[in-house]
Structure 1
Amino acid sequence: MVGTVRKDKREVPREFRVARGSPLCSSKFEFHPPCTLVSYVPKPNKVVILMSTMHNDAIIDADSGDSRKPEVITYYNRTKNGVDS
């Protein structure tokens, strides 16, 4: 399972919801087997949060260049269908 999580959910840690103070293109990872939670800052004051049961490490995709996107996000963008498209 790989999908986005709304940042207003109480289960999401506070430091994952806030973009202030985080540099652009930075990522935060939290591992709680079998799930991985990723917070990514693509723009100022914007946070993208994803949860995955397929990814168990903090790999940054080398093909994403200067945007330094985590592998979880590039996988999600490559395979999203249905509601998210």
Structure 2
Amino acid sequence: MVGVNLGHHLTRELTRPYHQTNRNVTTDNWFPSVPLAAELLNKCGMTHAAPTKGNKSEIVEEMKEKKDRRPGSNAFLFPNEMTLVLYAKAFTKTPKKQVFLTSTVHTQPVLVGNGKPEIVDFYNKTKGGVDCFNMMCTLYYCGRRTKR
């Protein structure tokens, strides 16, 4: 397929049996993109929540700026039917660690009791399958041994 990246194609094909069921798809940061989230919402009848890498072109430069960002702060952006949130982690080994998340589930900048955006808590609660998939990929090796 020309013009569609592999993560977009795989996500769409793997979720095909669940299209138009109003379910949520939670992926890790290798799969998501704004076109994928829009297609899942509008054409497939599914919502999407995922962390996004900071080097994506969909993220505006003002959100990527780390210089004036305080630990524990948040920034929200609402393009079309989705929400992009930047959460600057408060307690990390790496100073000024930033996490970007996209969601078509959330439409308001809601913070939970600990000051985190609701999107972060939602992703943490629904990422069990993602963690299990990543763990299985590291446990099972399908390479062959040779005598070379």
The alignment's TM-score, normalised by the length of structure 2, stands at 0.51
Higher relative contact order (CA 8 A, sep 6+): 1
Which residue of 105, 108, 111 maps to 1:57?
108
Q: Which residue of 1 aligns with 2:36?
A: none
Q: Which residue of 2 aligns with 1:39?
A: 86
Contact 1:18 1:47 in 2 (8 A): no
Q: Indicate the structure with greater helix content.
A: 2
Counterpart code for 1:26: S
Counterpart code for 2:66: A
- Structure 1, unpaired ranges of 5+: none
SS of the equivalent of 2:122 reads helix
- Structure 2, unpaired ranges of 5+: 1-47, 133-148
Q: How far apart are the structure 2 equivalents of 1:12 and 1:32?
A: 10
Q: Which residue of 2 aligns with 1:79?
A: 126
Contact 2:74 2:117 in 1 (8 A): yes
Larger Rg: 2
Identity %: 33
Contact 2:75 2:85 in 1 (8 A): yes
Q: How many pairs does the alignment contain?
A: 81
Q: Deviations over 1:19-73 (max 9, x none)?
A: 22111100000112311000010043211000000000001101x2xxx100000
Counterpart code for 1:48: V
SS of the equivalent of 1:51 reads strand
Pairwise CA RMSD of aligned residues? 1.4
Q: In the alignment, does 2:67 pair up with 1:20?
A: yes
Contact 1:2 1:52 in 2 (8 A): yes
The alignment's TM-score, normalised by the length of structure 1, stands at 0.85
Q: How far apart are the structure 2 equivalents of 1:84 and 1:21?
A: 32
CA gap of 1:84–1:19, structure 2 versus 1, over 3 A, is: farther
Contact 1:5 1:49 in 2 (8 A): yes
Which of structure 1's runs of 4+ aligned residues deviate more than 6 A? Answer: none
